[in-house]
Amino acid sequence: MKNVDQLDLKNKKALVRVDFNVPVNEQFEVTDNTRIKAAKPTIDAVLKKGGSVVLMSHRGRPKGKEEKYSLKYIVPEIEKVLGKPVKFVPDSIGSEVEKAVKDLKPGEILLLENLRFYPEETKGDETFAKELAKNGDYYINDAFGTAHRAHASTAIVARYFDKDHKAVGKLMEQEVKSIQKALDYGEHPITAIIGGAKVSSKIGVIENLLNKVDNLIIVGGMAYTFLKALGNNIGDSIVEDDKIEVAKKIMEEAKKKGVNLILPVDFVIADSFSNDAHTKIVKANEIPQGWQGLDIGPETINKIREIIKNSKTIIWNGPAGVFEFDKFANGTEKIGEAIGEATQNGAYSLVGGGDSVAAVQKLGLEDKISYISTGGGVLLDMLAGKELPGLKALQS
Ligand code: AMP
Mean pLDDT by 10 residues, the chain (396 residues): 97 98 95 95 98 98 96 98 98 98 98 98 98 98 96 98 97 97 97 96 96 98 98 97 98 98 98 97 96 98 98 97 95 96 98 88 92 92 96 94
Q: What is the DSSP secondary-structure string of 62-106?
A: -SSS-GGG-GGGGHHHHHHHHTS--EEES-SSSHHHHHHHHH--T
Atom of ligand 1 nearest to the CA of 201: 3
Cβ count near 31 (within 10 Å): 10
Atom of ligand 1 nearest to the CA of 220: 16
Please indicate whether residue 377 is annotated as part of the active site. yes
Residue nearest to atom 17 of ligand 1 (CA): 221
pLDDT of residue 58: 98
Is 297 near ligand 1, meaning CB less than 6 Å away?
A: no
Is 270 near ligand 1, meaning CB less than 6 Å away?
A: no
What domains lie within the chain, and their CATH numbers?
A: 2-172 (3.40.50.1260), 186-383 (3.40.50.1260)
pLDDT of residue 290: 97
pLDDT of residue 8: 97
Q: Which helix (H) or strand (E) holds 238?
A: none
Is 2 in a helix, a strand, or coil?
strand
Helix, strand, coil percentages (3-state) for the chain, rounded to 5, are: 45, 20, 40
Is 201 near ligand 1, meaning CB less than 6 Å away?
A: yes
For residues 308 and 175, what is the distance between their CA atoms, to the nearest angstrom? 23
Is 293 near ligand 1, meaning CB less than 6 Å away?
A: yes
For residues 106 and 101, what is the distance between their CA atoms, to the nearest angstrom? 11
pLDDT of residue 353: 86
As a three-state string, the secondary structure of 136-160 is: CCEEEECCHHHCCCCCCCCCHHHHH
Is 303 in a helix, a strand, or coil?
helix
Is 184 near ligand 1, meaning CB less than 6 Å away?
A: no
Please indicate whether residue 354 is annotated as part of the active site. yes
Atom of ligand 1 nearest to the CA of 319: 15
- As to burial, measured by CB atoms within 10 angstroms (0-12 exposed, 13-18 middle, 19+ buried), residue 278 is exposed
